[in-house]
Structure formats: structure tokens, C-alpha cells
Chain A
Amino acid sequence: MDDEKPGFEENLSRLMHAGLPPDARPGAETRAEVFRRLVEITRARADSRSFPDHLVVAIAAAIVLVAAWLVGRMAGQGLPAAGLAATAFVLIVVLNLAMVPLAGVVIVLRRRHV
């Protein structure tokens, strides 16, 4: 450059030697190994994303239907007739199932966000 001062190039060289001494670089083997690891991480993430969104939603919807059917049957029989332990068990199962569609929605939203 025309506006470079006389000592600039020499100083640049010394600065770069200070910033990048020979041992401030990874060894070739380590460099390749770390890259392979990053490729694996990237592939694993891509694989998890390859499960289609509509399938996630369909599975969640099917689970909601099963949960609704279970609740319907329980209501039809009458809670007292089912017994307390059985009622509690069914409620826990239904609550767990109810979380699945919520998780499905969160997964889909997170994917869209990324």
C-alpha cells in the first residue's frame, strides 16, 4: 500500500510470528481426528432431523386418541367402580400420555426455529 510506513511490514512480520509460533498449531493427526468427530456430531444431528415433522404430529395425535379413549372408558364405567388404585394408575398413564403431544409440538417448533 502506498500509505504503508517504512517499518510496517517488518512489524507485521514480527507480530505474526508472535501470534502464530510453530507450536500454536494443532498436529495434523489431531486436526484430522477432531474433524472426524465433528463430522460424526453433524451427521447424528442431521439423522435426528430426518424424522419427518408430520410423522411426529401423527404419532402424537394417535396417542391423544388412545388417551381420550382410555378416559372415556373409565368415565363410562364410573370412577368408584374402578377402584382407587386402578383409577390412580389410569390417571398417571393418561397424564403421561398427555405430555407426549406437548413434547411433539415442542420438537416441531424447535426444529422450525433452528
Chain B
Amino acid sequence: MTNPDRADDLDLAARVAAGDEQALEVFYARYADPLYAFIFHHLNGGRADVEDVWQETLVAAVGALPGYRGQSRLFTWLCGIARHKLTDHLRRAGRSVSLVEDERSPDLTQVIDLAPLPDALLEQRAVRVRVVEALAMLPEDYRAALVGRYVEERTVEEVAALLGRSYKATESLLSRARANFREAIAEVQKSR
């Protein structure tokens, strides 16, 4: 599997902690948007709230990166910080603290081949968060290919142009990315 593993995560965290700005760019490109989506689903929207918690989480995370020891994937570690910030935020707002982890969700590895997936399942916060977590585990080119093709609904030719690859190479990349996404979903599910 070519996913960024914990050694990559440790190396990236150490470089950011040491003040390497290029590493910070990689860290930001890799994790900032998935983290935003993670927080968005927990708060059910509300842009100002999401932005506040997202910013607080990133600032706290960059400050705490020297303490990251690779005990979990970096994104999982970031989600842990986000959960604390979400809990603080909900308490401050006087809202009940109910995080997605408290909700039950179906085993996505079992239902991903069912056609079509029920709408009710896709509306579950827990399912949406699992998708975000799985996407964050993928290498950047896989994630870019999947987002381009399935979220932004570009054609394979357009994704190829976006990634600077040939049509055939992009088809092959998409195929590997889909397989990797399935594995990532299984890994996320297993970690629950």
C-alpha cells in the first residue's frame, strides 16, 4: 500500500516542528481541508463556527506537533485535537456535547457494493466522517484524482489534464485510488 504511513507522518511532523516551511505547506495541503470537512460534519455546518474550531485546531496542532510520536496516524491525531476543540466549543455555546463517535453507523465495507446506497445512510454524520477520514489516508495524487473525478465530476480527460498525466495513466491511477479508498474505509472501520 502506498498510503502515507506513520514513518512519513513522523518525518513530516518532525520537519514542521523544526520550522521547515515547505513541510508546513505539505502538511497544510494534505490535512487542512479534510480536517475542515471533519469539523464541518461534527457541527452540521455553520461556517463561522466551523472556521473558528478549524483554526483553533490547526494552531493547537502546529504548536503540539513536537509532541507527536507516531502513536496513531497524523490525521487521527489531528482529529483527536479537533474533538477536544469541538467539545470546548459546544460547551461554550451551551450546546449538548454529542460527537459523531457516539453515533452508531453501519459497516461501510459491507455496504459499499450494495447498489444503490440508501440515501438515509449517506445522511448519517458518522458515514460522512468515515469518508473524510478514509480520504485523508490516501496519497495526494489518489485523493486529487478521486476528488476531481467524483466530487467535481470531471471527465477522465479533464482529470488527466489537471494532474499532468496521460489518459491511460489517469485511468490506472483512478483504478488504484478506488482500490485504496476501499482499503482505507476498511482501516477506518477497523479502528472504531
Contacts and interface: CB of A to CB of B under 8 A. Distances in A.
Contact of A24 (B16, B21, B40): B40
Please tell me the size bucket of the interface on B. 35 or more
Interface residues of A, number: 37
B45 interface: yes
Interface string A1-34: 1001111111111111111100111110011001
A45 B19 contact: yes
A10 B131 contact: no
A67 to B, nearest CB: 32
Contact of A23 (B24, B45, B115): B45
Nearest to B122: A18
A11 B181 CA distance: 12
A16 B134 CA distance: 10
A53 to B, nearest CB: 15
B128 A18 contact: yes
A46 to B, nearest CB: 3
A20 B38 CA distance: 9
Interface of A: 1, 4-20, 23-27, 30-31, 34-35, 37-39, 41-43, 45-46, 49, 114
B122 A20 contact: no
Contacts, number: 122
B103 interface: no
B47 A23 contact: yes
B62 to A, nearest CB: 5
B21 A30 contact: no
| Chain B interface SS verdict (over half) | helix
Interface in B119-157: 122-123, 127-132, 135, 146-147, 150-151
A34 B178 contact: no
A114 B17 contact: yes
B178 A9 contact: yes
Interface stretch (B52-60, B75-83, B84-92, B161-169): B52-60
A7 B37 contact: no
Nearest to A48: B19
Given A10-B115, A10-B116, 14 more contacts: A1-B178, A8-B112, A8-B182, A11-B115, A12-B150, A16-B146, A18-B128, A18-B131, A19-B129, A24-B40, A24-B41, A26-B36, A38-B58, A41-B62
A21 to B, nearest CB: 8
B32 interface: yes
Contacts of B28: 35, 38
B116 A43 contact: no
A1 B179 contact: yes
12 contacts: A1-B179, A10-B115, A12-B150, A15-B108, A15-B122, A16-B135, A20-B151, A23-B47, A26-B33, A34-B54, A41-B62, A46-B19
